[in-house]
Amino acid sequence: MTDISRRLEQTLRSAIQKNPILPVKVEEGILVGDILIVSDSTVKHLKRNNNYLYKDIYLNAAAICMANLLAMHKSSISIDAIYRADQEYGRWYTDSQLLRAQYQRSVNSQDHDRADTQWARYCESRDKAIIAKNIVQRLAAI
């Protein structure tokens, strides 16, 4: 019995070390310590005491990780790195979606040369968005 309780204690300790502050759902959004994550359409904002700390965060993992780091008063260098990587992802993702819409319009208007060009540009933007997302996920796993 002591072996099982020891393993449970180790598991709980590692879980608490990895995510020290559990998010709590409140009426305004999600509260992580004293940091509020507010969802605004497809982006999230981080607030403390009704002041915006970071705006327009695209990935949920980035928002939760940044809120945890802010609530624990960790290094702002790592938070800023996650935010910059998330913004890079957001730019490439938005670009890829715009190019995909342009591709669809070109196909519908039967402009196949333009559609081929738009498709190639879309694929490049999509691939860069995937790479940027992987970078954010790696940084958020700190």
Tens of pLDDT, residues 80-121: 999 999 999 999 999 999 999 999 999 999 999 999 999 999
> What is the predicted pLDDT for the residue at 78?
87
Domains of the chain, by residue range, sit at: 20-140
Residue bearing the bigger pLDDT, 129 or 1: 129
Spatial neighbors of 103 by CB under 8 A, at least 6 apart, are: 115, 118, 119, 122
Separation of alpha carbons 22 and 15, rounded Å: 10
Looking at mean pLDDT, say which of 1-15, 60-74, 113-127 comes out highest. 113-127
User: Which pTM was predicted?
Assistant: 0.78
- Greater confidence (58 vs 6) lies with 58
Q: Which of 101, 99, 69 is nearest to 82 (CA)?
A: 69
